[in-house]
Amino acid sequence: MNQGWRFDTIAVHAAQKPDEKTGAISQSIVPAVAYAFPDTETAAAVVSGSKEGTYYGRYGNPTTRTLEQKIAQLECGEDSIGLSSGMAAISSALLAFLQHGDHVVVTRDVYGGTYNFITLLAPRFGITYDFVDCTDADIVRAAIKENTKAIYVETPSNPKLTILDLPMVASVAKECNLPLIVDNTFMTPYLQQPLELGADVVVHSATKYLNGHGDVLAGFVVGKREVIDFIRKRIAGDLGQNLNAWESFLILRGLKTLGMRVRTHCDNAMKVAAYLNTHPQVAAVYYPGLATHPQHELAKKQMRGMGGIVSFEIKGGLEMGKAFINRLQLAMISFSLGDPETLVQHPASMTHFSIPKHERQLFGISDGLIRLSVGLEDSADIISDLEQALLMIDTTLSERAR
C-alpha cells in the first residue's frame, strides 16, 4: 500500500483505512476474546492457519493485527507480533531459537531486564550464554560454539550508547548460519532498520518511543513470517503474552507522530550533549552525535539520527551524581525513556542494579553514570534545568577545594 511513500506517510497510513461500515478514520477497538464462525470447517481453517482470521484472544486481535502490519512495514519485515511488554518480545524472540542445551552470544552491555532473562531465567531452560564485545568481529567469532543458536545485540547499547556495526555482526552470523536478533528500541525504525542491514529479527519495547506517551506497556518482534507464526502459536500464545486491543489502539495513535517526535528528541539531545560536553563539572559524555564518541563515524553511516538518549558522568562520582539528579526540577527521576517528558535515572542503582557491580564495571557502567532521556520540551528549558543542578556541583566542589 505504501506506493513509494516516505516514512512519515507510512507511519500515518500503513495498514489503516476508514472503517468499511461507519467510515470512521480512527482505528476501531475490538476487545473481544472469542470469535464466532459460520461453520466448523471455517473454524478449523482459521485455527490451522490455512485461512486468515482470529479465533481466540491469546493468539490475536483485529486491532492488534492492524498495528502488527504497520510495524512490519515500518521495519521492512514480513510480519510482526505485538506482545504485552518489551521483555515479552525479548524473551519470545530468544525462545524462538533457543531450547535446552543451546548457547547464545550476547553483546556485553545490554538492558538490565535482558541481562536478568539471560542469566537467571534462560539457565532454567538449560540455555547457556556468553557476553562478548560485539564491536570486534573476531571476538564474536571466537565466542561461537557448536551449540550456539543465536546472536543477540542492541545498538546503541543501554546505557553507554555503544554502536555496533550491524552489517559486520550480520556477516559473522551468516557465516555461522545463525540468526541475528537486534533490539532496536533506542533507535526506532525511523532512525535505523536492522533488517535492511542484515539482521534476521528485530525486537522493540514499544513502551518507549513507538508509543511515545508513557501510558502503554508493549513489545514487538519483527521478522520472517514463519518465525512470527511460531512465536504466536507456540510461545506468546501458550505463555499468554498477548497485547490487548486498547493498548494497540494507543500505539497506533502514537505511531502517527513517531517521525516528528523522534526528530525533536534527536535535536534536543544533540543540544544537550553539546552543552554537557563543554561543562567543567562533566567528566564524560556518551552520545553518538558527538565527534568524540568512539563510533561517531559508524553512527553517521548506519543511523539516520543519533537518538534521544544522552549518558554522562558527573565529576565527584556517585555522591555528586545522585546530588545532581536530586537537584533537577524539570527532569523527572524514572526508569523509562522515550516519553514527552525528560526523564533521568542512575543506571547502577536503578535499571542495571541487578547486574553485579564487578560485571557492571566490565560493561562500563560506573557508579557515577547518569542516563538522560531527553524529552520534547524546549531545549533551552532542559539545558537551564541541567545548568542549575550543575551549579550546585560546582559550588560544592569549590568549597571542598578551599
For the chain, the structural domain boundaries read 7-255, 259-401
User: Does residue 1 carry a pLDDT above 60?
Assistant: no
Question: C-alpha grid cell for residue 9?
Answer: 506517510
User: Does residue 120 carry a pLDDT above 60?
Assistant: yes
- What CA–CA distances, in Å, run from 232 to 79, 176, 207? 11, 27, 20
| Region of 323 on the Ramachandran plot (φ > 0 left; ψ -120 to 50 alpha; else beta) | alpha
Ranges assigned E (strand) in 169-315: 180-183, 201-205, 219-223, 282-286, 309-314
Residues in contact with 313: Cβ distance below 8 Å, sequence separation at least 6, in sequence order: 282, 283, 284, 285, 321, 366, 368, 369, 370
Per the document, the length of the chain is: 402
C-alpha to C-alpha distance for 58 and 55, rounded to whole angstroms: 9
Active site members = 58, 111, 183, 208
Peptide bond into 156 cis (omega under 30): yes
Do 7-255 and 259-401 have matching folds? no
Least confident of 59-73, 209-223, 308-322: 308-322
What's the half-sphere exposure (Cβ side, CA atoms, 13 Å) at 160? 21
Q: Tens digit of pLDDT for each residue in 26-62?
A: 999 999 999 999 999 999 999 998 998 999 999 999 9
C-alpha to C-alpha distance for 170 and 342, rounded to whole angstroms: 34
Least confident of 127-141, 364-378, 379-393: 364-378
C-alpha to C-alpha distance for 182 and 180, rounded to whole angstroms: 6
Question: C-alpha grid cell for residue 233?
Answer: 502459536
Q: Tens digit of pLDDT for each residue in 271-280?
A: 999 999 999 9
- What CA–CA distances, in Å, run from 167 to 134, 183, 241, 302, 346? 12, 15, 31, 9, 32
Residue 36 one-letter amino acid = A
User: Does residue 2 carry a pLDDT above 70?
Assistant: no
User: Does residue 349 carry a pLDDT above 90?
Assistant: no
Percentage of the chain with pLDDT > 90? 86
CATH architecture, domain defined by 7-255: 3-Layer(aba) Sandwich (3.40)
Residue 368 has a pLDDT of 84
Pair 274, 290: CB distance under 8 Å: yes
- DSSP SS3 for 356: coil
Mean pLDDT within 81-92: 98
CATH architecture, domain defined by 259-401: Alpha-Beta Complex (3.90)
Residue 402 has a pLDDT of 67
Spell out the alpha helix ranges (H) of 7-122: 7-13, 40-48, 62-74, 86-95, 112-116
Peptide bond into 179 cis (omega under 30): no
Least confident of 29-38, 128-137, 387-396: 387-396
Mean pLDDT within 149-167: 96
Residue 130 forms beta bridges with which residues? 105
Residue 344 forms beta bridges with which residues? 333, 372
Average pLDDT taken over every residue of the chain: 94
User: Does residue 384 carry a pLDDT above 80?
Assistant: yes
C-alpha to C-alpha distance for 301 and 295, rounded to whole angstroms: 10
